[in-house]
Amino acid sequence: MLAYLVRRLLYALPILIGVNLVTFALFFVVNSPDDMARMQLGVKRVTPEAIARWKAERGYDKPLFINEAANGTAVFTDTIFFSKSARMFAGDFGRAEDGRDIAREIVSRMGPSLAIALPTFLLGLLVTISLALLLTFFRASYLDFWGVVLCVAMMSISGLFYIIGGQYLVSKVWRLVPISGYGGGLDAWKFLILPVVIGVVSGIGSSTRWYRTIFLEEIARDYVRTARAKGLSELTVLFRHVLRNALIPILTGVVVVIPLLFMGSLLTESFFGVPGLGSYTIDAINAQDFAVVRAMVFIGSVLYIVGLILTDISYTFVDPRIRFH
Amino acid sequence: MAPVVLWSDALIWLLVAAALAFAWGSRRNPLLRAAWQRVGRSRTGMASATVLLFYVCVGLLDSLHFRPRLESGETQIAASSERKPAVYAVQVLSLLDAVLSPLRTRSEKTYSEPLATRAHAKEAIELRDASGRVRQIRDYPRLQYGGAHLGADETRRDADIGERLLRALAIALLVWWALAAATATALARIEACSHVEAWRRIWCNETGFACNAVLAVIAALLLVGIALGQLAVDYHVFGTDKVGQDVLYQVLKSVRTALVIGLVTTLVMLPLAVFLGVVAGYFRGWVDDLIQYLYTTLSSIPGVLLIAAAVLMMQVVIDTHPQWFATAAERADLRLLALCFILGVTSWTGLCRLLRGETLKLRELEYIQAAQAFAVSDLRILARHILPNLMHIVIIALVMDFSSLVLAEAVLSYVGIGVDPTMISFGTMINNARLELAREPAVWWSLAAAFVFMFTLVLAANLLADAVRDAFDPRLAGAA
């Protein structure tokens, strides 16, 4: 197992380097730093001096890959690629446009992001799997049919409408909770409950339908017939046999997402004014803060790869037949 | 007028041509034909296809662009003198704009409710009383165009609307009746049965094609469409937005953007996914390793962030090269295409992985090995034996992706990395309208209209996708 993990981690390295190169190419090769400077400073009436100063402030005035003017290792280290891209591996993301350290900002914003994403994730999983089991239990009945119809209808509503509608009804018309904002401590639940509920509701459609298909596939298997033949009740069959065997396909889709919870949800956080990583990213996109977007892309892919490895590990817990060498 | 071919127009029509060619080609393939016939029998599938067809027609109408000729005051004089070169407006219009020109040009000052005759907010109005003095009162001002035909008698509005609705109902029933009768006659001739029997078969869905569902949907569409048309002539059916533009017009214009995003993206994604997936699965070895590395790297970057990064960079390119674009429409159009391109490049990995897996399975089958033993070239094996057997996966993936792309456009436009802000789309409509609910009293009609149209489009696409998947998936088709 340990050897397997080490090997997986080593496999992850080239992928991360690839991600790094892709983002580097996107941010520095497609556009020269001059273009970025012109964009930031306003396209018209921008002097070469202003561009040069902008580049020097951010360290974009170096050569891309090889600095021929430098000596020794500085030939490679005193370049944009090394100072901006390669140092991300060490957790050094540089500074944002407002001069703050990105790494520190990310750490402080992780809390609010998790406070919303984690309950949404867990509650959503519970609700959708229960609903899917319910539909499976009543399969081929009117409840099942209309349940699926409802799921498809819910899938077809854009996530934006869930948020806008929910905010309007709950916060403005019924005045139950504040529309947006975030508070620490015990009062935080007031701010958290609406985004969590909306997050769960907006995910019901597609997830329930997806889990239902998985369960229906399992229920057609021979072992289910055997279980019924030996006299087990339908509920026992569903919970003890079908649910446990359906865990593998469910885990495949679910575990990958867990590390990405740190990233928060872009939409929810920006609508509800939560100072998390999602709203950080949106603000950076709107302010065209390239350094922050670059950092988030890198962190996102690291977390995704962690998620893939976690998925593999989780398989061994639910299926004792799976062994990694 | 001078025709203008925007890039997205060309691609949309190319797609239409490709779809027609594919449909023609698949008539000869018995497997595909059987699958499409299964789709045709599905009632939900055909009903949603009808709705989609309506959307596609609106989108296609909106994909024929031209620049109108500028009417100059001296045309009469110029006619006698030597011919001048025609002057064209900078504004690029589409055929849909021309059809909807009353809706497009009749702008109010600001918000007005659906079917209203007066504005949404009070304003200071100057009144001249009998003695000729100017007096100011605060009241809801009359709209310039909404219900203008009523004149001073605004109380007649409800009766007028009712009358128009009844007229619409009558016309819709008449047209529908004609269509239904034509269908029944055609069916009676094909099946060689009596007219009454044809009607009964349509009603009981005993035809090879889900006629009854299509006819029902057509009835609903006719009813809604004609009623909208009757009302839109003199009212703002869905109200007007902040700058007084008709919301119905905006919603209809949004359809094209959604279709371009949903369809053109597949044009980018498909060649990448199919080519790389098949090649990786068939040749294996280092080619496979390389392609796997490529898609693992790309798919490990969270989609939204990669799109955000790419769109930001594209924005820089567009903003620093203003000289590339003759009109604002061209710039918006190129941005739309770039968005499609980026969405395509970020979303091909899923399909590619599927196709690679399936090719790995196929290449071990006897008929492929037989072909290899006969020294059939690799290219020929790929084209003749492997690709046709992957078709169902490709078709299912295409229809499934459409709805998610339409939804993605709205989210991306909200985040600020979607289409050009000047381009009308569901995303920009929602984005502009999202703060209006917070007003007192709330302005809900823009959002509601965008919601209804987008929901119908995506729901129809989802239902059609289900029908197509049920018909094409060999695992499901065997069970049915």
Show Cβ contacts of residue B47 under 8 Å, excluding neighbours closer than 6 positions.
Answer: B210, B213, B214, B216, B217, B463
Q: Which pLDDT does position B172 carry in this prediction?
A: 95
- Determine the average pLDDT of the residues in A305-323: 84
Residue A143 has pLDDT above 70, yes or no: yes
Question: CA of A164 to nearest chain B CA: how many angstroms apart?
Answer: 7
**Are the beta carbons of A282 and B415 separated by less than 8 Å?**
yes
Q: Which domains does chain A have, with CATH numbers?
A: 2-90 (no CATH), 106-318 (1.10.3720.10)
| A297 → closest Cβ in B306, B316, B438 | B306
Q: What percent of chain B has pLDDT over 90?
A: 32
Q: What parts of chain B have a pLDDT lower than 70?
A: 72-85, 476-480
Taking all residues of chain B, what is their mean pLDDT, rounded to a whole number? 86
Question: Confidence class of residue A325 from pLDDT cuts 50, 70 and 90?
Answer: low
Would you state the pLDDT for residue A284?
A: 87
Please name each of the domains of chain B with its CATH number: 154-232 (no CATH), 252-472 (1.10.3720.10)
Please tell me the predicted confidence (pLDDT) of residue B261. Answer: 92
pTM for this model (two decimals) = 0.90
The shares of helix, strand and coil residues in chain A, as percent rounded to the nearest 5, are 75, 0, 25
Cα–Cα distance between B444 and A245 in angstroms, integer? Answer: 47
State the nearest Cα–Cα gap between B41 and chain A, in angstroms.
19
Count CB neighbours of B69 within 10 A.
12
Both tokens of B286, joined, read 């280092």
Closest CA to A304 of B295, B351, B341: B295
| A contact test, residue of B324, B325, B462 with most A CBs within 10 A | B462
Whole-angstrom distance, CA of residue B337 vs CA of residue B423? 12
Q: Which of B309, B430, B434 sits opposite A297 (nearest CB)?
A: B309
Rounded to the nearest 10 degrees, what angle do helices A243-254 and A102-137 cross at? 150
| Amino acid residing at B274 | V
Residues A21-80: tens digit of each pLDDT = 888 888 777 777 777 777 777 666 677 887 788 777 777 777 777 777 777 777 777 777
**How confident is the model over A110-120, as pLDDT tens digits?**
888 888 899 99
A19 contact residues in B (CB cutoff 8 A): 297, 300-301
Query: Residue A44 has what pLDDT?
Result: 64
Count of C-beta atoms within a 10 Å radius of residue A234: 14
- A281 Cβ under 8 Å from any chain B Cβ: yes
A294 close contact with B: CB closer than 8 A: yes
pLDDT in tens, A152-181: 999 999 988 999 989 888 888 888 888 788
Which of A35, A106, A161, A271 to mutate to test binding with chain B, by most B CBs within 10 Å of its CB?
A161
pLDDT computed for residue B479 by the predictor: 47
Residue numbers in B near A161 (CB within 8 A): 430, 447, 451
First vs last C-alpha separation in chain A:
6
Q: Do B302 and A286 touch (CB under 8 A)?
A: no
Question: What's the N-to-C CA distance of chain B in angstroms?
Answer: 54
Q: What is the pLDDT, as a whole number, of residue B166?
A: 95
Residue the block writes with tokens 């302010």: A287
Question: Minimal Cα–Cα distance from B34 to chain A, Å?
Answer: 25
Q: Is A252 on the interface with B (CB under 8 A)?
A: no
Residues 134-173 of A with CB under 8 A from B: 152-153, 155-161, 164, 167-168, 172
For an interface test with A, which of B254, B293, B300 has the most A Cβ atoms less than 10 Å from its Cβ? B300
Q: Which residues of A touch B412 (CB under 8 A)?
A: none
Complex ipTM:
0.87
User: 10 Å Cβ neighbour count for B72?
Assistant: 11
Q: How far is B300 from chain A (nearest CA, A)?
A: 5
